[in-house]
Amino acid sequence: MASNPSESSSASPPFHSETANPSDDVLALLEKGRLLCISGQFEEIPQHLAYIKCLELAPIPALMLEILQLYPGADSEAVHDSQRLQRVNDLLELAKVFDSKLAQAWAWELMQLLQNNLLLHHAALHSTAMAVDLFEQCDRQREAFAIKVSRCLIMIPCEMYREVIEMGEQLLREREHLDPVDLCNILRSSASANYFLGIEADDQHSVPYLQTALELHDQCLRTATDYQIHKFELISHTNIANINACLGRREPTAYHLLKIEGMQAQANKVNTSWAYWLRFCDALLLCESREFEQGWQALIQLSKELNELDLSTAAVYDSVLRKLISYGKRWNRLEMALEASVALAELNSKRRRLLSRTLSATVEDIMTLPRLVHRNQELSQQGHQLETSLARQNAELNATLDQLNSEAAIRKKAEYALYQAHAKLEQQIQARTQELEAAMDVVMRQEKQLALGRLVVGIAHEMNTPLGNVLMAASTMDDYCQQLSADLNGTSLKRSQLQSSLHALNEGNRLLRRALDVASNLVQRFRALAIEQHNEAIQNFELHQLCTRVVADWQKRFQEHSATLTLRSNRDIPIRGYPNALAQVLEQLLENSLLHGIKSDRAGIVELHLQSQGMEVELRLQDNGTGIEEQHLSRLFEPFFSRQLGQGGIGLGLSIAHSLITDLMRGQISISNCAQGGTCVSIRLPINSEPPFKA
């Protein structure tokens, strides 16, 4: 139920300068920074202060900026409050020298904030009195009233309860000078004073104090609700629930507890001990009902938990112990009441020890001040010596700098000469590059012409035979047609002559058809060299199953040649690609092994190995045949390259296979001779092929 002076805030009118020297704009910015610190809007302070520091300030605004930077939320350095208090005291003396009452008022206001944080409450009361007087001299009534409100909040931990009530009544008679936040602070500080007087009194005299506290908290709640001050709404609900629980009023207590539960998200930001206050209320309700034994045990358990915590929960712990003492006397449980009294005395002792430590630390900081001053003088002397040394070194550095400038000029001339040589070399390289590019273009054209010549020669060679057969058949059929026409125009035509002519024409027609079929097949194989002619869609398939099917189809042909064909793979390998194209490649390779690789004097062995390697799969076809001459290995994939040209082979099979593997399936294919004899064909394919790019 205790109040916190840091929760007070004030809203002041625009700042007016004491003198004509500082600009109103600068002082208004300083005043806004002070309001941001007091109202707790800390996230906006750094940017605001950074803007003010960029301005050119007169002495008094500069002094006020120094004071402002020591306010809570404005000081970014981790400095203890006692040290900041010493610095504020020095700035206060400086403000007296400048005779700036407003700067003095700021200093006293800041001193009371720091003193309250250090638990120096009585010193803080003196500082508030000084700040009020100075603000009133500056005709700052709103600020003066805000300080008076904070004075009420400081008097609560000083246990000046009756003085708080009296001052609260005086301030409430001048409501027109109060903003909603200050009004809420006065109401709840007066209510807290009545509450503490009530719990210190006996049961017979406590009710009027608690009833007054309840009425004041109700007014605070209505004000906070009207102006949407959610922080004070939560505090008022908690205090009202606590007081109603002390008075044994179950329904209003439950009502306000439900309100608090709906504001849990904000509760921890306002008061970390709010949950213990709720448990305290629940226990009091049980104690005032038929289930008083359960409430008594709940109070005992709560006191044990709070005993293990720090002094941040001292207020609720104090209330729990006082209720244990009160109920213990009422229900004749004197042993527990005595233990609670001892615990309360220990709690007060902890508070006094904390205050003593704070005072000791403050006094120690004050005692160290002369040593710091002496040390500062020593540092000043060392600084003077250092300046003399730096001046001497600066002269030496200037001489060295002149020498470096001279050397830099020489180096600059050398760099310019080097730049000219580099530019000339660049021109020579560019000219040479152009010559090389022209020569490369000539070589590329020659290579293309040579490749085109080989292709044309190969096509002409392969097409020559079927076209010759077509020409011969057509010529023969023409002769027979002329002979038959002459016979028909004659006087006699024998049946045998007609049959002979028709037979010859049929034979010529069959020869013509065979030659055209051969030519058509050659054209189809020529078209297979172009990857654009392959219209198969990419799909998912199982490589092991595909190879098993191909090997099974070729087993009979290999057996006819006394050769064996074996698949070396024992697991499924799912890939994405072109199964028909891959089957076509495998069939071409198996045909080459059967026709060109296997020796006739011994049993041929052909093995197909499958192996997955990361994101790739390797197919390796290996035989024990005659192998390939080394000078032919580099030309195997050229169109129309064949060692049996004109003997059934046209040299397109491996060229087509190479095109399908590299261009369509984005893989690699290579042929080499095995160390132990025979030929090895290696195909490496990506597990996930992508369709080839088509311009």
562 backbone dihedrals φ, ψ, rounded to 5°: 55, 40
Within 8 A by CB and 6+ apart from 295, the residues are 282, 283, 284, 285, 286, 287, 288, 289
pLDDT at 96 over 50: yes
What range does the domain containing 651 cover? 536-686
* Whole-number pLDDT of residue 651: 64
User: What tens digit of pLDDT does each residue of 340-386 get?
Assistant: 888 888 877 876 776 566 555 555 555 554 555 566 567 667 777 87
Residue 664 and residue 667: Cα distance in Å, rounded? 8
Q: Of the residues 131, 158, 185, which one is the last residue of a structural domain?
A: 158
Residue 86 and residue 362: Cα distance in Å, rounded? 9
Q: What is the CATH number of the domain that holds 4?
A: 1.25.40
Q: 453 to each of 448, 456, 524, 636, 641, how far by Cα in Å?
A: 8, 5, 20, 18, 13
* Whole-number pLDDT of residue 7: 43
**Does 612 map to a domain?**
yes
Name the more confident of 14 and 594: 594
Name the more confident of 516 and 695: 516
Residue 228 and residue 599: Cα distance in Å, rounded? 100
**Does 618 map to a domain?**
yes
User: What tens digit of pLDDT does each residue of 412-451 get?
Assistant: 888 898 898 888 898 989 888 888 888 887 777 776 666 5
What is the overall mean pLDDT for the chain? 78
* Whole-number pLDDT of residue 245: 76
Token digits for 448?
């293309």
Nearest Cα to 186, choosing from 220, 136, 225? 220
Residue 234 and residue 274: Cα distance in Å, rounded? 9
Weakest mean pLDDT among 4-18, 181-195, 501-515, 545-559: 4-18
* Whole-number pLDDT of residue 641: 66
Most confident of the following: 382-396, 400-414, 504-518: 400-414
* Whole-number pLDDT of residue 15: 36
pLDDT at 681 over 60: yes
Question: What residues does 287 pair with on adjacent strands?
Answer: none
**Does 561 map to a domain?**
yes
**Does 173 map to a domain?**
no
Q: What is the CATH number of the domain that holds 630?
A: 3.30.565.10
Q: Of the residues 132, 158, 184, which one is the last residue of a structural domain?
A: 158
605 backbone dihedrals φ, ψ, rounded to 5°: -130, 125
* Whole-number pLDDT of residue 600: 62
Q: How many CA atoms lie within 13 A of 586 on its CB side?
A: 29
Share of the chain above pLDDT 90, in %: 1
Q: 598 to each of 244, 558, 677, 680, how far by Cα in Å?
A: 106, 10, 11, 13
pLDDT at 646 over 80: no
Band of pLDDT at residue 174, cut at 50, 70 and 90:
confident
* Whole-number pLDDT of residue 10: 38
∠ CA 178-181-183, rounded to 5°: 50
Instruction: Give the DSSP H or E segment for 455.
Output: helix 334-489
Q: 265 to each of 254, 260, 269, 271, 279, how far by Cα in Å?
A: 19, 10, 8, 12, 18
Q: Which amino acid belongs to residue 402? A: D
pLDDT at 54 over 70: yes
**Does 558 map to a domain?**
yes
**Does 657 map to a domain?**
yes
pLDDT at 110 over 80: yes
Most confident of the following: 410-424, 484-498, 633-647: 410-424
Residue 317 and residue 1: Cα distance in Å, rounded? 11
User: What tens digit of pLDDT does each residue of 120-166 get?
Assistant: 777 888 888 898 899 889 888 888 888 888 888 888 877 788 888 88
Token digits for 578?
């072109």
pLDDT at 682 over 50: yes
The domain tally of the chain equals 2
Band of pLDDT at residue 2, cut at 50, 70 and 90:
very low
Q: What is the 3-state composition of the chain as percent helix, strand, coil, each rounded to the nearest 5?
A: 70, 5, 20
* Whole-number pLDDT of residue 688: 84
pLDDT at 638 over 60: yes
* Whole-number pLDDT of residue 1: 53
Share of the chain above pLDDT 70, in %: 81
**Does 353 map to a domain?**
no
Instruction: Give the DSSP H or E segment for 563.
Output: strand 563-568
648 backbone dihedrals φ, ψ, rounded to 5°: 110, -20
In the three-class reduction of DSSP (H, G, I as helix; E, B as strand; rest coil), residue 672 is classed as strand
pLDDT at 14 over 50: no
pLDDT at 182 over 80: yes
Q: Of the residues 158, 178, 206, which one is the last residue of a structural domain?
A: 158
Nearest Cα to 85, choosing from 71, 100, 97, 104? 71
**Does 373 map to a domain?**
no
Using a cut of 0.85, tell me whether the model's pTM lies above it: no
Nearest Cα to 648, choosing from 577, 575, 596? 596
